[in-house]
Amino acid sequence: MRSGKVFHIRTLAAKLFHLHVARKVKRDVGHHSAFTASRAREMPAFTMRTCSYLRVKGMPKIIQSPAKYIQGPNAAVSFGQYAKNLADRFFVIADDFVMNMAGDKVLSGLAEHDVTCHAERFSGECCRTEINRLMTLAEQNGCRGVIGLGGGKTLDTAKAIAWYLKLPVVVIPTIASTDAPTSALSVIYTETGEFAEYLIYPKNPDMVVMDTTIIAKAPVRLLVAGMGDALSTWFEAKACYDSGATSMAGGKSTAAALSLARLCYETLLAEGEKARFAAQAGVVTDALERIVEANTYLSGIGFESSGLAAAHAIHNAFTVLEECHHLYHGEKVAFGTLSQLILQNSPTEEIETVLAFCQKVGLPVTLGQMGVKQDIEKKIQAVAEAACVEGETIHNMPFPVTPDSVYAAIITADLLGQQWLSR
């Protein structure tokens, strides 16, 4: 992670799939049957602020998800029996560290089922130059499917290559720190790592594979950050449902999506602390399995097919503060969730449940834990203004929101967090 701001843009963009953007992408992108490296440079880009939040009468209910989701110990080996139904030859990309750590596992899993592959090292940056380079190699080597193995930028690059070449894509995350792997989106950076644009696709990945043996060995803080991201899913989904906002899937939330969002929250409360201990030990337990599913699948379907509200808007706004750039996406989202609960005047018992969960797993509940310790009034006023800009997801709340009300919610959340920790 180069900085908190860069990481934020990728995960934020993964959560900004919206109706009129989706329609535009389908119009500008979906009608092309083949893509070349040169054509890739011409593809339309959509910035975060192109998204508006619509409430359209008669809008249908829509739910979207990956075509197949596979999870379990050594799933990066066993997935080959399903991958063979997508293609008989795959283009596999991973960075040097991940290729050395897990590359043999994936390649042997394919070979066991008579699936061939060509593996290439990913440079580390999801930029146009790298996408074009890898597209050319995939074509030259006669590959008929794409596999991305690793972190977010690797997976985003794999999605882009597969889309431009009209090939199926399999994403194999090596961490469970966000719900982005299931999304129908890639974020593109410049060669120097600055955000450039994001691409939204009309379909989700063909397959998502979560190998919990690999994920259990990742830094514990990443799994906890994933819990922080997932913590917001139910509360934001419910807010969008109550307000009638359109989801990133392009319609109203289904009962199924809302139920998955609720199950995500219940799973976090029941299994989160136990999963953290398992991750500290580097072992796979039932609790860890349940949390990986909650962080990735339940939260992924829940947000994309239900919507985002105040928690993520407040997260986005905290990126204006330099002292918050060291935080992972989910760590900021967790505090944003607490702030949303204050904003919507949730029952004290519910707020205390969230505070207790955050304390148990190690998520921030105060501004001090976020790194904000000086000039608090001025800085939080800036955050509140940023959270309420036109087009932000905070306007999916079922009541009017102003910078003043957001400021009050954040300051109150901080005081509640301080009081909770002093018990």
* Furthest CA-CA distance within the chain: 63
Residue 125: is its pLDDT beyond 60?
A: yes
Residue 189 phi, psi dihedral angles, 5° rounding:
-115, 170
158-169, pLDDT tens digit by residue? Answer: 999 999 999 999
Q: Is 187:198 a contact under the CB 8 Å cutoff?
A: yes
Residue 193 has a pLDDT of: 82
Residue 18 among the catalytic residues:
no
Strands 185-189 and 195-200: antiparallel
Residue 341: is its pLDDT beyond 50?
A: yes
Residue 56 has a pLDDT of: 55
Once rounded to an integer, what is the mean pLDDT over residues 378-389? 97
CA–CA distances in Å: residue 244 to residues 32, 50, 234, 396:
33, 20, 15, 8
Residue 291 has a pLDDT of: 99
The CA distance from 335 to 340, in Å, is 9
27-58, pLDDT tens digit by residue? Answer: 333 333 333 334 443 443 343 333 434 555 67
Residue 312 among the catalytic residues:
yes
Catalytic residue, chosen from 315, 325, 395, 414, is: 315
DSSP per position, 19-66? HHHHHHHHHHTTT-S---HHHHTTS--B-GGG------TTPPB-----
Residue 96 among the catalytic residues:
no
Domains of the chain: 19-52+65-215 (3.40.50.1970), 220-421 (1.20.1090.10)
Residue 28 among the catalytic residues:
no
DSSP per position, 55-67? --TTPPB-----S
Catalytic residue, chosen from 8, 18, 312, 325, is: 312
Tokens of 172: 């194999």
Q: Is 167:87 a contact under the CB 8 Å cutoff?
A: yes
Model pTM score: 0.86
Catalytic residue, chosen from 95, 156, 229, 414, is: 229
Catalytic residue, chosen from 18, 325, 329, 395, is: 329
